[in-house]
Amino acid sequence: MSLLQKERDVITRNEYADSFDFDEIEDFIRNANKEMFISHHFKKRDRILVQPRGGFPTYKKMFELYEEFMKADIDVLPLTIDSNTRLNDYAMAKKMLTLSEENEMDMLNGYPLVNHGYRTTRKMMTHFNKPVSLRHGTPDARLLVETALASGIFEIEGGPITYMLPYSKNFPLDKAFLYWKYVDKVCALYSTLNEPINRESFGPLTATLVPPCIVIVIQLIEMLLSIEEGVKSFSVSFSQNGSMMQDIVTSHVLKKLAREYADMLGGEDAIINLVYHQWMGAFPRDKNLSDSLINTNTVIAAMVRADKIIIKTRDEAFGIPTMQCNAQSVANTKYTLRTLKGLPEVHDAEEEENLELEVRAIMDAVFNDPADTLWRKVFNTIKNGLIDVPFSPHIINHNEVITIRDDSGNIRIIEKGKLPLPDRCFAYEKSKVNLPESKTEVITKIIHDIGAML
């Protein structure tokens, strides 16, 4: 028995999980309908796939949500996981699930997949016969992902950096790398049976003035870590940042470099997809304005030629949306995409060149780290502050980079901390901003820039 299989046996032998029958699961995946694999839909490249977020505690309510989505002609169904499961607290998830079932009241903010188990959940997934995307935020997602794949959920979001730096203060980053290595290995293993399992990174990060060069570097790294383990279909992603031009520039550089780095490191046969998130910062409290923001986002997703768009709802400022509201948002987004025709191809050579140079400089710093494996190089790079995510709560993050918007809404770096940016790139960033005289005014402007869509 391989070491991986031994580890899988240990991980899946859990009192709150189904008993895993790996041979049966392999058979299921081998014979699963291709419609259930998002990678199969990506290959066609004939439209932007629309995916909302959503998860309810009980099987019954989850089923009803999917029925609402189906009426809106959805492309990709979401399965959002509750916060107890994300922290591996299956005992609490079980208790809250029972309370939700008994009282017809939602006591969890998502679907506790491990407690429901794969035998039950698979019935729902095969019934709807649509690609499903696992949305969570779990540092140790080993059991969760085993359960998801066995259920027929063939897209797994997340990664050791993007599910860690925005969400956790002190979960050890080195452990997260190893736990996600396991996830990638299992995804790769199942990818040989049918269409490939798609892995997706979470580009929005803290969604708080994160400069494009940091987003792209982290997208490239998580893609390379997955490809290293044998993943054959990967989605890089980013979210609306407040300037349409900067989003378009980001998309060009991200697509170009993702292909280049993948090819360079043995991923020539991997499919790379682009995912665009609608605005991930604070939403207006006026629902009509939210509709307008969502619609603008859809236009930008089309402009950046995204393969998939992940949408928000008009209820965003108030909490978890109702099923009807969520489904309406799917229908609206699909309508906008259907009516958008003749989009121009836009480029800004100067901006693209500058961003590309920044990304290459940081990637060089990663590869030049003396550690022996990629994940250790990345770990050291983050620890040394050469990768630094603004507004991360994690203790390993340096928090020295400071960004602000220029007059066109582009995010610019005004303090680079230890980012290894070439001098000319940093000079270019700073030349774009007219900073107020006093530091107090600068901070007032940063506060304003964070809430750009309010």
Partner 1 sequence: MKVVTGVVGNDIHVVANRLIDISLQARGFEVFNLGVNTSLEEFIDAVVETDADILLISSLNGEAEGWCRDLQFLRSEYDLKEVIFVIGGNLAVGEAAQSDIIPKYKSYGFDLVFHQIDLNTGLDEIERFVKEKA
- Which residues of this chain interact with partner 1, rule CB under 8 A? 167, 169, 206, 208, 390-393, 395, 399, 402, 439-440, 442-444, 446-447, 450
CA gyration radius for the chain?
Answer: 21
Contacts of 41 by beta carbon, 8 Å cutoff, 6+ apart: 49, 75, 76, 131
CA distances from 103 to 58, 60, 77, 99, 302 (A): 11, 13, 26, 6, 43
Give the tokens for residue 225.
């870590």
Residue 237 · residue 278 · CB < 8 Å: no
CB of 277 to partner 1, least distance (A): 18
Where do the DSSP E strands lie in 158-232?
198-200
Rounded to a whole number of angstroms, the minimum distance from the CB of residue 55 to partner 1 is 20
Contacts for 92 with CB less than 8 Å, ≥ 6 apart: 84
Q: Closest CB to partner 1 among 317 and 402?
A: 402
* Complex with partner 1: residue 331 or 446, whichever CB lies closer: 446
Nearer to partner 1, 52 or 166 (CB): 166
β-pairing, 402-405 vs 411-415, is: antiparallel
Q: Which is nearer to partner 1, 10 or 443 (CB)?
A: 443
Rounded to a whole number of angstroms, the minimum distance from the CB of residue 446 to partner 1 is: 7
Residue 265 or 282: the one with the smaller Cβ distance to partner 1 is 282
State the angle between helix axes of 349-368 and 212-228 in degrees (0 to 180), rounded to the nearest 10. 50
* Min separation Cβ 241 and partner 1, Å: 16
In whole angstroms, how close is the CB of 443 to partner 1 at the nearest point?
5
Looking at beta carbons only, is 292 or 399 nearer to partner 1? 399
CB of 49 or CB of 209, closer to partner 1: 209
Whether the Cβ atoms of residue 313 and residue 283 lie closer than 8 Å to each other: no
Where do runs of H (alpha helix) occur along 104-152?
113-116, 118-128, 142-151
Closest contact distance (angstroms) between CB of 399 and partner 1 is: 6
Q: How many CB atoms lie within 10 A of CB 341?
A: 6
